[in-house]
Structure 1
Amino acid sequence: MSKTMKRIAVLLITTLIAPAIVSFIPSVKSLTVAEVKAAEAKSKLIKTSATIGIQSSPEYISIENYNENAKYTFSSADKKIATVNEYGMVRGIAKGKTKIKVTETLGGEKKEIGTLSVNVVNAKIDPKEVEIGLNGYGYVPIAYINYEAKYSLKSADSKIVAINEYGTLEGKKLGKTTVSVTETYKGKTRKLGSCTIKVINSRLATKQTEIPVAGTTYCDLLVDCINSKATYTCKSSDKSIVSVDEYGNIFGLKEGTADVTISETYNKKTRKLGTVKVKVVGSSIEAEYSNIELGVNSSTSLTDIVYIKNYIWEAYYSCESEDESIVKVEEVESDWGSKYTNLIGKALGSTKLTIYENYNGTKRKVGTVTVTVKDFPVTGLELYTYDFLEVDGKYTRKYYLGEDYKSDSLRYYINLSPYNATTPVTYETSDETIVKVDETGVVTPVKEGKATITITCGSYSVSFVAEITTYSDTLDEADW
């Protein structure tokens, strides 16, 4: 064979056979950052040890990086000490130690993801000393209490501390005594020990507190170890900032600080407990809530999307947009006469909103937030079926001739995923001679009959039967 022919043969082999050989070599897929992180995020136990009581509050096994596609099983090494159910709830049975093994099954592969070491202990008194008020009430603190056991309490001096049939302690006079506790469980009785109980006069629970403008606190909340047979009065040093009524309600009127003096009257004797500084604070926007997102071509109420700390229910919150071509602000009056502020995402981008509080004739700047207008494509659409009756396998809703449904848009009866999806929602009726529905989802009954209304968002749609009827004072079962 000549050199020329050999070269042609080699070229043919390279051209025809090499691609076939390469096709048998497995390809290597390049993973995205998200896929790499998902692979690295292995399931594991958040806690690896726990102490619980016998027949006490259970321990729930928590799994970090829980995989919804996996099945988790739990098994106890010694069920006589602790049991675990299919949901990972661990309950103490007897004093001792054991281990709970947790296994994950995913795609046919089964692996152990961790072990919870469980220490089951007897109930005990903790702390060993407590204080209660004169004519006040309290309890002996029992840790790891056994809810299937019976506890008996005995006071060393019932003239100082009395105990009722429910185990409640009552401070009878100033002083100190001990209360011993025994536990009876499964026919066996054991002593838990004793707790020292001090009966003291009431005192201030705090030296200072904070309430919002138009907010309320109570005199009793500022007193510790309350005497149930005494009366408490409060007096404000500045009634323009803090006012107090005859029932001990403390009201914040405007920003500032006032001293509230608290006194106790018992057995016709009055004594001053002390003074609490009450700071009245206005509404504000915290830094972590200063950046929000709004869907393009969507609208929402200002107070639905912006978190305002110390929000005043009686106030009206307004705002100004730095760029109304991105976020437009509308003032809307509701059907019941109150005003609210609506935000409309007009175009993609970011702008700032300055928020104001209008209260008692005063307009005050609350803060500034940055709003980013984005596109949120719809990924799901559902009908809130609990607002409908199911008749012959179809969801049905009654509408009455002559009724006004302007404030009852169908938009309130669907659930979009995500909730702020920006994909347009459309509404269509199968028969406009029976019922009409406009572009906002408002239904108008025309005449008696039935028609199908279809709600569509992107590639998703739901439908229901609108039954138009004349209102009657007599309701049948289907109307309830």
Structure 2
Amino acid sequence: MRFRHSKWLSLVFIFILASQSLVAGNAFAADEISKLVLNKNELALQVGDTANLTATAIFVSGSTENATVKTDWNSGTTEVASVYAGVVTAKKEGKAVITATYMGKTEIVNVTVSKKVKSLTTDKRSLELRLNATEQLLITAYYDDGTSENVTSKADYTVDTSSIVTVTNGLVKGQNPGSATVTVKYMNQSLTLPVDVEVVRRIDAESSNVSLLLNGTADIKIMATYPNGDIADVSEKVVWATDKAKVADAIKGKVTGYSVGTANLTATYGTKSTTITVDVDSTLKLELDKQNLLLKKDATGVLKLTATYADGKTEDITDRAEWATSDENIVQVSKGKLSAIAIGEAKIYAKYGDKAVVANVDVEVPRRLVVDTELVSLQTGQEQLLVLHATYADGTSAVVTESAEWSVDDENVAFVTKGKVTTYKAGVATITAKYGGKTTTTKVEVDIPTIIKPSKKAVNLQIGGSEKITLMASFKDGREVDVTNKAEWTTSNKDIAEARGGEIFGLATGAATITVKYGTRTAVIQVSVGVLKSLKVSQEKLTMKKGDSVTLTAEALYTDETKKDVTSDVIWTSSNVKAATVDGGVVKAIASGETTLTAQLDNKTVTIPVQVDMASDLTANVANLVFDLNETRTIVLTATDSSGAPRTVTNDAEWKTSNSAIVLVSKGVVTPVTRGKATITATYGGKSISIPVEIGVVAGLVADKTFIVTKRGDQVQIKLTATLSNGTTKDVTETATWKVNSYKLGTVTNGLFTPTASGKTTITGSFGGKTVAIPVEIDSLKYLKTDVVKVQLTEGSTANVVALATYTDGSEEDVTKPALWTSSNIMIADVKDGVIKATGKGTARITVTYSNMRTTVQVTVTK
């Protein structure tokens, strides 16, 4: 069945292909080609490069077809460039013609193959130019076949900031101050060159603070210091900015003040800037002629504001200042003129520029209010007039009784209006008088006795019993009055006892407090109803061992002298159930520790201290531990009980570590986690002991080398030794952390340093919080010289010069090839790898640079 299904699918597929071929064949047969179009007519390649050509057939009907694969491709010079299915491969330097033919139409592509550029160099690594100055670059291309070529005029140049630098055929010109990067590209290679134009080391203003009068001006000189030490006035060249344009600004070094205030002007030249603070119409101080002013209501007053300037001059600026009041409902102000509106106090503010002063204004505000009496004692229904006096700031006083605002805190006791007090019932009230923002109070006592006394202060009752209490009140006038029925009787617990009209009733067993109040006076009566007198437990304290059990009994003594076993009625609790528990008087010792048992019945409580396996002393077999990672130590703990018997309790104790990130502890076994210090604490039987622990703490770190002088191609091994806190030493070369401060100069792995470039740097090795630094010098030269210092040549001739480097260790090396050779004038003498070629008559200077040192050779060329 599967075979028949597959065969059927194959037949369908063949039928579809045949149909498509028939349709396509009919279309192609009916459509005539108009022309053949290639995507490129010329190619410029380097040896080894490839390029893709595509061919598109355009038919008379207007339809198109990608005929790249169907096209017949041929190369006229296959040793220069070959072609297959439109893919062109450059083989060697030269020219070739690629021919594409399809349906009778032919097109050609001209191919130019050049040598492959291996690298691109420039005679300068960076440039520093002054404004409008120029400097010529020399760009050299090095090819795969070992040849080189001056491609200065052929290279492409781009600048990231064209407003600062422009480049034409390698000629760099400084346009504006700043920094830019020139990118040089030739063939498949490129390089970058940093250029600084008019870059200054710093700019300075001759003065950082300027003071101006309104609309005044001042000239500010800005001096620029260049890297070579030159100093120039750039006041008119800098770009000025201000944070407050309405206050002050600067144009070409001239500062102008526009309004009162302070502004910060910033002068920027190239990448440097400096700031000048400008004060416009700045005053040293402001002064008011009066700091305090006393006015009557509806009266007026005047304040004068004087400004003192930096030159010592003073000026009345009352009309020019900004004036404000803290409360316009009390005092209003306009240009120093005051109007008192209502009684009260206000502050007057005068502001000019960034300074302000304040004056206090008092409008009929009394400094104090006084009532002719501070305490009034009256009987119910009596009246009394209070007189209120106000004293002002100028020392005068007046009676303001009817003008003041009067109030009372309890109108059920007394009432007041315009100082007249009327009493209603016994009690105490407070009369308050308000005037001009000030207040004063007077206390009013109505029928207040000096003392009240109940006939008994304590009453013992049985449930259902009662007792009559008489309450007497003593007054200041000597009266003794029975106020039992007039007083207010209350109880602290209405379920145990209550009082009505002086009669106290016992309701249930317990204690309560009866409070009686008359006026402001109170008295209390303690009431006991069937109250427990005492509670006693069979033992006062317990000393037990883990697993022991003891039974306690409790006995109650009541006020009627009867006794009762209340063991099952008592509430038993333990303050530390981990040490011992108690239930129905049965005490069980659970674990080492201390607890307090409590027996409670009604309001009586008895406590029994309990000790379970408590130690009198706790010791460890070590006072401290010092060891390294990958090791363990065991602490043995010994407890001594009250009888003096010792016992090992290592597994029973509670162990803790002060820092689990450094060390762990379990049943006395100490396991290190990382290097550091921690404290192990063991607790048993109410005692604790602490053991300091140090894990691999490094006291010192020493390298076997203090200074390294080496060369590229060599390797240096450094050994690092750590001294632990216990005095032992350890080679930590491979476990330490190593770093080269300048990664461009070399690498270091496990103390093995491999230099990669010339220069000076520092190698650091770190271990256990300690660090060692070793200075390093790579390819440090003592001398650089050539075998000749002067050369005389005729035009067209050459000379070989050898460069010899002498290192600080005394070794010598021929550096003719790796050194950089440059000519001051390639039109007279050119140089490469020490070979000097005379190109024209005159004198030139050949410079040899290697490892930050240079020397020169003088070349004279004659006809």
Shorter chain as denominator, the TM-score bin is under 0.3
Whichever of the two has the greater Rg, that structure is 2
**Which has more strand, going by share of residues?**
2
TM-score (normalizing by structure 2)? 0.15
